[in-house]
Structure 1
Amino acid sequence: MGKSVVDIFPRSEAVPKQFQLSNPTEQREYLLNGQLVIWKGVLAPVTSPIFLCDETGEEHQVVLGSAPQLDAEAAHEALHSAVSAYDKGRGLWPTMRVSERIDRVEQFLVRMREQRGEVVNLLMWEIGKSLKDAQKEFDRTCDYIVETVDALKELDRASSRFELKEGVLGQIRRVPLGVALCMGPYNYPLNETFTTLIPALIMGNTVVFKPAKLGVLLLRPLLAAFRDSFPAGVINVIYGRGQDTVSPLMASGNVDIFAFIGTHKVANTLKKLHPRPHRLRSVLGLDAKNPAVVLQNANLDIAVEEAVTGALSFNGQRCTALKLFFVHQRIVEDFLERLSARIGSLRPGMPWDEGVGLTPLPEPGKIEYLQQLLSDALEKGAKVINPNGGDSNHSFFYPAIVSPVTPEMRLFREEQFGPLIPVVPYESLHDVIEHITCSDYGQQLSIFGEDPSEVGRLVDACVNQVARININTQCQRGPDSYPFTGRKDSAEGTLSVADALRAFSIRSVVATRFTKSNKHLVKQIIEGRESKFLSTDYLL
């Protein structure tokens, strides 16, 4: 084992003062009907992927605190609060003017920005995200909220006019759907959660929000901001095991929108619990096994650099990560050599270390799972290409380039969601296309090559198999104005700043025959501001 892996965890006194934590946090409050309610039941421990050495050199996992482990009764209270606040579409929030809802969201953003330092620090300690990436996630989330407000203003401006078609005068606006259940992933517990939560709220839906299984405490600093920015019952935050909380909520039939980022197996199980599935709008970001195809004429300097960031940003714990590399047989040795050298330049360490490129993994059991995938591949003929590849220490796993990977290996099929880089040498592009076509997943694909004929042919062969093709660059979500979705088992619905607003709403029309009396009536309603729906207001 490499010395850097053995000595990866520091002594307690080596933690920079500005990032040190106080005593473990016992969180008992959760947000219910506009109040921070104290939970008197069982608490779930919250641990960090970071271990610290004591004076004897022994390494101990850091205990960050505890969070409420609500039961089904508490979860139903939260759902009842959201249902009551929506009041079948007649509640204060769903009938509020768009400009007023925007004001509330902007108030929340001001309060949220005040908590940047604490949230960023908890992102590092709870999920092992580097300081730079934690700051980026927080700031990108704030930017997303601003962009969402701008997109809604633009959408509302387009809806502020009337249309006259075939003698019928009408106004078409988007209105909320009902009660949304929002659940985000642990790898982006702030950003990806808010890409569904904020659009759901701003379009007038009420929300029950359950944080990810990891990254729980980092949302605590925002609870008061939610409470103070939105009317009672509009947003309710629950904690606990999904089987105890989420399953009963779905089975109740009172959830109108299911916004979930996780595995397709969990999504399928939860959706089946809903007694009226035709009334459930689903917005799902699910599994992905994004391939990269490195053609024989590829610029290897570009391909290798994009491979490293694509496969190992946040240790490969991204749905958009590159998870399977098809490399042409003629260049595979050169590619592996360069990739190995580039990985060797990455700095392992703690999230606050300057220039750190590899950090501990937060998910319990993850190291054992990665070792199982690696052992299976080695038993079936693959080799670890890079020095120290696969070495581990507690929650830290050093990246391993594994080649040649074949379809018989688990690593070829399963989404590793971690720092394993499977490389499949190929001769015939037909075989690669066949795999992409037959794959259960269809989120994204990266193509690396310089021959326009070959790249163009591969684009045409795959554009109906995946939702996004990236040429000479890694797979990625951004920019947020681009649609983010997937085919097959990878997604349901489409997210982008504008698409999310549509995903959490439905178009509604008010129409009348274009007669003199009706025209006069509509004009009086608008001029007297007798309706919040019928309006020609232009949002600035």
Structure 2
Amino acid sequence: MNFNDQLKSLFVPESEIPEEFAIHEELHQREYLCDGEMRSWTGPVSEVYSPICVPDAQGTLQRKFIGTYPICTDKEALEALDAAVNAYDNGRGEWPTMSIDNRIKCLQKFVFKMNEQRSLVVKLIMWEIGKSHTDAAKEFDRTVDYINATIDALKDIDRQSSRFEIEEGVVAQIRRSPIGVVLCMGPFNYPLNETFTTLIPAIIMGNTLLFKPPKHGTLLHYPLLKAFQESFPKGVVNTIYGRGATITPGLMQTGKINVLAFIGSSKVANDLKKRHPKINRLRAVLSLDAKNAAIVTKNADISLAVNETVLGALSFNGQRCTAIKIVFVHKDIVDDFLIKLGEAIAKLKFGMPWVPGVSLTPLPEPGKPEYLKECIDDALLHGAKVVNENGGASLASFVYPAVVYPVNEKMKLYREEQFGPVIPVIPYDSIEEPIKYQIDSPHGMQVSIFSNHAQEIASLIDPFVNLVSRVNINSQCQRGPDKFPFTGRKDSAEGTLSVVDALRSFSIRSLVATKMNDKNKELINEIVNHQDSNFLSTNFIF
């Protein structure tokens, strides 16, 4: 069977899809969560087509139609904003004034209800964005683990804050308090996990929020709306649907959004921030563009570098902000590296998301195969070649990985974030070349350095820690573990995320202070002993 026939065989008739993973009924969402109510929607809807294609009667591949969701307008978005503003009530609402202990109980209730929807959510992740069943299940389970870790981290923070501090005759209790209304927008590549890494800490710290699901990966959130409704007071979580360019500018222009939590492009983030009438009042928590480089020196273990590059560049088809998106290889070893890289890619299993052990799957963005072909053609025009067998071959929504070499500054692949299964490789002579690339790059998220020479690694660590936010030694770029800080320099991020950092990002330190005299001590003791305040309290959460 030639390679084109292999590609055609990937897309099977619906009758051959394993029953466990088949979608027999379309999911038509006709409601959204606002002010504690599941409100009906009778207006226009957006149709959802899966990257998984099935052949029609004529054998033509068609993206599988799996459902619809509301296309709401400014009116519904502003109603949701009003609900969040009213629930926060200038910090006087039920949720922002609730004790940490009771907020945690609400979140634990949500996790229980969320777990009840695991099977459906995992299946929708597969069908909406083409993620393998194994990775879709991991995304769900990792999200639950993240929520539980967030609860534990908040308990630790609260325990440390449950005591009074005395300095220079002043006694104070310092705690973290919410900021206000949060607009939360997540990405399609991790539509559940990365969305919840901002949404969950924003909620648990006492903020109220508007939640806009990503364009690809919208339906998978629908089964969780009831869980939000039943777990939190009304108005704490409100969902908004529709075209981002239509509904989000108006929300920002009101000036009522206190925190922008956004994972996407720096261009969109900048546009949204500029629309806020008081940018100085807006806190932004942003995870944005990245063009993470791998640097393979002549002292590297080539096999290790190849294996980590394949993982880093092609996990979920390279559709990760932390993916390795350009590789610098010393000219003395580049030929060997390319041969082994091609061999490693050839061993990757490709197919539909339900196929056991599959590594390469269809791409969710309808225009992505054409864009990647455009990038490859541009590189060929400027002197590069596709050096791995079958590299760049595509059919419908599937693109086979392409190793493009040698890449230079004239090519799109040199600067643009391809966000797909294309690996640009640049040969270098002097280590100053990849350093200069990073200096000139608008991005500054991570770098991977491959070498077994301690002094060489040390000489690269010192410049790169000031150019990117994470230097990976002999390993791929990645976000985890979730307790490690995740951020970036330049256009790659604003603010820091981790289990603990996210809690800080969505809160501010507040304190109650008074001079140490008998009358004030009596007042403080009375408030604490009678548990009259949720803030001024020595209660200890176990």
Query: What interval of TM-score do these two structures reach, taking the shorter chain for normalisation?
Result: over 0.9
* Counterpart code for 2:106: R
Which of 349, 362, 365 is equivalent to 2:364?
Answer: 362
Does the CA contact (< 8 Å) of 1:485 and 1:494 recur in 2? yes
* Counterpart code for 1:273: R
Which of 241, 244, 249 is equivalent to 1:242?
Answer: 244
Query: What CA deviation, in whole Å up to 9, does each residue of 1:260-319 have, x standing for no partner?
Result: 000000000011000011110000000000000001010011101101110000000000
* Counterpart code for 2:170: V
Does the CA contact (< 8 Å) of 2:61 and 2:396 recur in 1? no
Which of 11, 14, 27 is equivalent to 1:12?
Answer: 14
Other-structure match for 2:254: 252
Alignment length (residue pairs):
540
Residues of 1 paired with 2:366 and 2:270: CA distance? 23
Residues of 2 paired with 1:24 and 1:96: CA distance? 40
Does residue 199 (structure 1) correspond to residue 201 (structure 2)? The answer is: yes
TM superposition shift of 1:55: 5.1
Three-state SS of the structure 2 residue aligned to 1:482 is coil
TM superposition shift of 1:56: 4.4
Residues of 2 paired with 1:452 and 1:169: CA distance? 50
* Counterpart code for 2:303: D
Other-structure match for 2:496: 494
Residues of 2 paired with 1:46 and 1:56: CA distance? 22
Residues of 1 paired with 2:416 and 2:302: CA distance? 26
Three-state SS of the structure 2 residue aligned to 1:432 is helix
Residues of 2 paired with 1:316 and 1:5: CA distance? 19
TM superposition shift of 1:408: 1.0
Other-structure match for 2:306: 304
TM superposition shift of 1:57: 2.9
Residues of 2 paired with 1:201 and 1:293: CA distance? 40
Residues of 2 paired with 1:128 and 1:207: CA distance? 29
Residues of 2 paired with 1:339 and 1:353: CA distance? 24
* Counterpart code for 2:370: E
Query: What CA deviation, in whole Å up to 9, does each residue of 1:119-155 have, x standing for no partner?
Result: 0000000000000100000000000000000000000
Residues of 2 paired with 1:211 and 1:430: CA distance? 42
Does the CA contact (< 8 Å) of 1:4 and 1:348 recur in 2? no
Q: Write out aligned runs for 1:217-236 (5 A).
A: 217-236=219-238
Three-state SS of the structure 1 residue aligned to 2:504 is helix
* Counterpart code for 2:27: T
Three-state SS of the structure 2 residue aligned to 1:483 is coil
Residues of 2 paired with 1:312 and 1:30: CA distance? 35
Does the CA contact (< 8 Å) of 1:5 and 1:398 recur in 2? no
Residues of 2 paired with 1:6 and 1:387: CA distance? 17
Q: Write out aligned runs for 1:48-447 (5 A).
A: 48-54=50-56, 56-447=58-449
TM superposition shift of 1:53: 2.0
Query: What CA deviation, in whole Å up to 9, does each residue of 1:464-486 have, x standing for no partner?
Result: 00000000000000000000000
Query: What CA deviation, in whole Å up to 9, does each residue of 1:146-204 have, x standing for no partner?
Result: 00000000000000000000000000000000000000000000000000000000000
* Counterpart code for 1:410: K
Query: What CA deviation, in whole Å up to 9, does each residue of 1:401-436 have, x standing for no partner?
Result: 000001111101000000000000000001111111
Residues of 2 paired with 1:461 and 1:179: CA distance? 39
TM superposition shift of 1:4: 2.1
Three-state SS of the structure 2 residue aligned to 1:7 is helix
Three-state SS of the structure 2 residue aligned to 1:93 is helix
Give ranges in structure 2 of 5+ residues lacking alignment.
Answer: none
Residues of 2 paired with 1:385 and 1:6: CA distance? 23
* Counterpart code for 2:456: E
Does the CA contact (< 8 Å) of 1:2 and 1:388 recur in 2? no
Three-state SS of the structure 1 residue aligned to 2:20 is helix
TM superposition shift of 1:327: 0.2
Residues of 1 paired with 2:509 and 2:69: CA distance? 39
Q: Write out aligned runs for 1:506-517 (5 A).
A: 506-517=508-519
* Counterpart code for 1:515: N
Other-structure match for 1:479: 481
* Counterpart code for 1:228: E
Does the CA contact (< 8 Å) of 1:437 and 1:462 recur in 2? no
Query: TM (normalized to structure 1)?
Result: 0.99
Other-structure match for 1:526: 528
Three-state SS of the structure 2 residue aligned to 1:475 is coil
TM superposition shift of 1:245: 1.4
TM superposition shift of 1:58: 2.9
RMSD: 0.8
Residues of 2 paired with 1:31 and 1:298: CA distance? 53
* Counterpart code for 1:237: T
Residues of 2 paired with 1:269 and 1:319: CA distance? 20
Residues of 2 paired with 1:323 and 1:3: CA distance? 29
Residues of 2 paired with 1:88 and 1:180: CA distance? 13
TM superposition shift of 1:23: 2.4
% identity of equivalent residues? 56
* Counterpart code for 2:535: F
* Counterpart code for 1:154: D
